Structure 1
Amino acid sequence: MMKEYKVSVIVPCYNAEQFLTRCLDSLVNQTLEGIEIICVNDASPDNGIAILRDYEARYPNVVVIDLKENVRQGGARNRGIEIARGEYIGFVDADDWVDLQMFEKLYNKAKETKVEVVSCDYEIVNQLGRVQLGKLPDRSDIYGTITEQTRPEVILTTGSICCKLIRRELLERTHLRFPEQIFYEDNCFNTILGVVLETYAHLPQSLYYYFDNSDSTTRKRNSMRIADRFKSLDLQLDYMQSKGLELKYASVINYIVIRTLFNTVTSYLGTSDEPDRKVLYEVHKRLKLQVVPENGRNPYVGRLFSSREKLHLMLFRFSPRLYMTFREIKRSLRLRKHKSFLFCG
């Protein structure tokens, strides 16, 4: 008879050899009894599989799946879901780590509140050890049974997939899986999860640690990854349309599209010395096609975009060329100020 677990944690592994020990140590030392750790080696070219096999040999609750063909993070997570035996499922990226009490606290919260999904806050740690808090908005009014009034807030404010514990029965009942062979697969998964879940709770504690690794494949930006942003976005829109939700959640969908396009522009320009103007004009074209509901005003854009973001959004929507000129002027002024400071020093 197969052993049942309280929680299955799925860890997709690709080119994370130097971080694996830190990640796995935080998992095998969890205070929760009854935890399964599923490590999926996604045809990684490094020596990570040796580390995974070592942990598998030493810990009976560690399971290693060694894929011979790369399926990217979404595919690796799906392979883990297929064999998971936990009542709840969690996800951890191989270059991150978690608080030793994370899964005990999330599991207890889930059982106490009898919810399908429970989330927590997180911290971002860069290569210098500096910490930035990633806290979800205090929305205690949306916890518990989700209503049609609170569902839009759940879709938009439930945070990262790695800060969640999801009841396995929900994934089986809805057949919810990650898109495969694309980046930004978690964006699509999160949106659909917000649509299908019925009960939700949040634990306002920082229990997950994101490592801001500039060399990570998920942090890099290029034209192919930008194209994957569009694919992930289109999958979300296709799902909403297939369920007849495009009118019911018009403001939510509009916000998701605008936020995705805005983040695409800012992240791409921030990490590309010579950005492809075709990419920028594709974003601009998609942005111009957006018909803002609510009589020309979207309440989520108004509330969830900062004043600075609204200014950048307005300028880019008016003219990408003018926006690029604006950014170049700001960049030149910053460099001039920096050089003046060095000279004075």
Structure 2
Amino acid sequence: MIKVSIIVPIYNTDPNLLIRCVTSIVNQTLEEIEIILIDDCSTTDIGKTITDLTKRYRNRIRSYYSPKNLHQGGARNIGIHMSQGEYIAFVDSDDFVEPNMYELLYKKAIFNGEKADVVECDFITVKQSQLLPIDRMKDISANGTLDISGKKEVIAKSNSTVCTKLFRSSFIKDNDIYFPEGIYYEDHLFVLKVNTLLASYQTIRKGLYYYCQDSSGSTTRTTNLKSCEDRNTIMDELHKWSSMETMTDYKEETEFYIIRCSYRGGIEWLVQNAGWRGYWEMLKLRRLFLKMYPNYRKNQYYIVRFSHEKRWEQGLFDCSVFGYLIYKRIIQHFIQSLDKHKTPNLYTF
């Protein structure tokens, strides 16, 4: 029996990074896994590397070559349909994982025979050869079968990425939960749907997934017009889902999810990756969000979980994008001056 199907969407990935990624999965301590490599109509010769890996590990790897570029969401959907495992996982092709990641997640998933719909762990950011542990699971106490309050906690506090999670295959397929295709940030909508529909949930408070920010070809690190436009598209889709009648019990939680993942997250991404070039996109993002959620500052999660500094910054952005960019530029200059005298990070590899 296959316990976990691990789906890896690939588009023009550096061959060395893909080999590192696949090797980390092949070497998992959990043996009953299958690896599904989906080439999303790459324009480079990465297909040769995929073929070589599939032949080398023919008992563990299956591959599919999409004739059309569907973006990560479409590639992941193909993998879901191909999957035969009891659980499904996703790994980005330029990242890698701990050798025991899926053994730990799977054991947690079937603990006491409950078979959780979702199990989630923390991740470690890899940036300029430094390892930066992220501790985002410490605030989540919900586990096992969830009541309404437990589900509210998961919606409001859970990580918005799919790569740190294990999903029960029948839960995903029976509820018809798939990724939007042809757009970026597809995982935001997928995770919101999952979190509002799941019935049982578990966590592992340990970083098992390595999220690599130095890969220039990665979707989340690439700035282009479409990626900017898709932020507004996905925000609109999130709003539609959260506005459904069945979401009434989770109105404040879904609103906060959109605040932190789509609005605040979108602002930070645009500042970091586009700067002044993203000025007009920031204006569009602000206009759309404030039209949907004009009273978002009254959200109790926003008040409690956002620091006074972050709320002040957000207020500045809402009043003046221009002023906000000037402020962030001053802060960046100050931090750079401090970094010249900073002790090197001890987490290196």
- State whether TM-score is above 0.5: yes
Alpha-carbon deviation of 1:229? 1.4
User: Paired residue for 2:295, among 292, 296, 314?
Assistant: 292
Deviations 1:7-49 (A, max 9, x none): 1000001121230110111111111121000000111122221
Secondary structure of 2:94's counterpart equals: coil
Q: Contact between 1:223 and 1:276, CA under 8 Å: does it hold in 2? A: no
Q: TM-score, normalised by structure 1?
A: 0.90
Q: Which piece of structure 1 moves more, 309-318 or 298-307?
A: 298-307
* 1:236 counterpart residue number: 238
Alpha-carbon deviation of 1:224? 1.8
CA distance in 2, matches of 1:130, 1:22: 17
* 2:16 counterpart residue number: 18
CA distance in 1, matches of 2:304, 2:225: 30
Deviations 1:66-123 (A, max 9, x none): 1121111000000000010000001111001111111111111111142111111111
CA distance in 1, matches of 2:50, 2:215: 24
Secondary structure of 2:3's counterpart equals: strand
Secondary structure of 2:76's counterpart equals: helix
Structure with max Cα Rg: 1
Q: TM-score, normalised by structure 2?
A: 0.89
Structure 1 stretches lacking a partner, 5+ long = none
Q: Contact between 1:221 and 1:267, CA under 8 Å: does it hold in 2? A: no
CA distance in 2, matches of 1:106, 1:331: 38
Matched letter for residue 149 of structure 1: S
* 1:36 counterpart residue number: 34
* 1:82 counterpart residue number: 81
Matched letter for residue 58 of structure 1: R
CA distance in 1, matches of 2:17, 2:215: 13
Alpha-carbon deviation of 1:285? 1.6
* 2:91 counterpart residue number: 92
Matched letter for residue 41 of structure 1: D
Matched letter for residue 230 of structure 2: D
Q: Within 5 Å, which residues of 2 pair with 1:119-268? A: 119-126=120-127, 128-139=128-139, 141-159=141-159, 160-215=161-216, 216-245=218-247, 247-259=248-260, 260-268=262-270
Alpha-carbon deviation of 1:173? 1.1
Alpha-carbon deviation of 1:139? 4.4
CA distance in 2, matches of 1:275, 1:192: 32
Deviations 1:246-271 (A, max 9, x none): x4322123223322222222221222
Q: Which runs of 4+ in 1 moved over 3 A?
A: 327-335
Deviations 1:195-248 (A, max 9, x none): 011000001121111111251232123332121112112112212233442x43
CA RMSD of aligned residues (A): 2.2
Secondary structure of 2:6's counterpart equals: strand
Matched letter for residue 213 of structure 1: D
Q: Which piece of structure 1 moves more, 322-331 or 171-180?
A: 322-331
Q: Which piece of structure 1 moves more, 32-41 or 222-231?
A: 222-231
* 2:347 counterpart residue number: none
Secondary structure of 1:23's counterpart equals: helix
Distance change in 2, residues 1:95/1:297 (3 Å): same
CA distance in 2, matches of 1:186, 1:301: 22
CA distance in 1, matches of 2:9, 2:167: 17
Q: How many residues align?
A: 333
Matched letter for residue 9 of structure 2: P
Alpha-carbon deviation of 1:276? 4.2
Q: Contact between 2:276 and 2:325, CA under 8 Å: does it hold in 1? A: no
Structure 2 stretches lacking a partner, 5+ long = 342-349
Q: Contact between 2:28 and 2:101, CA under 8 Å: does it hold in 1? A: yes
Q: Within 5 Å, which residues of 2 pair with 1:55-66? A: 55-59=53-57, 60-66=59-65
Q: Which piece of structure 1 moves more, 282-291 or 84-93?
A: 282-291
CA distance in 2, matches of 1:231, 1:9: 28
Secondary structure of 1:169's counterpart equals: helix
CA distance in 1, matches of 2:60, 2:289: 48
Alpha-carbon deviation of 1:140? 5.6
Q: Contact between 1:74 and 1:181, CA under 8 Å: does it hold in 2? A: yes
Alpha-carbon deviation of 1:273? 4.7
Distance change in 2, residues 1:313/1:52 (3 Å): same
Q: Which piece of structure 1 moves more, 17-26 or 216-225?
A: 216-225
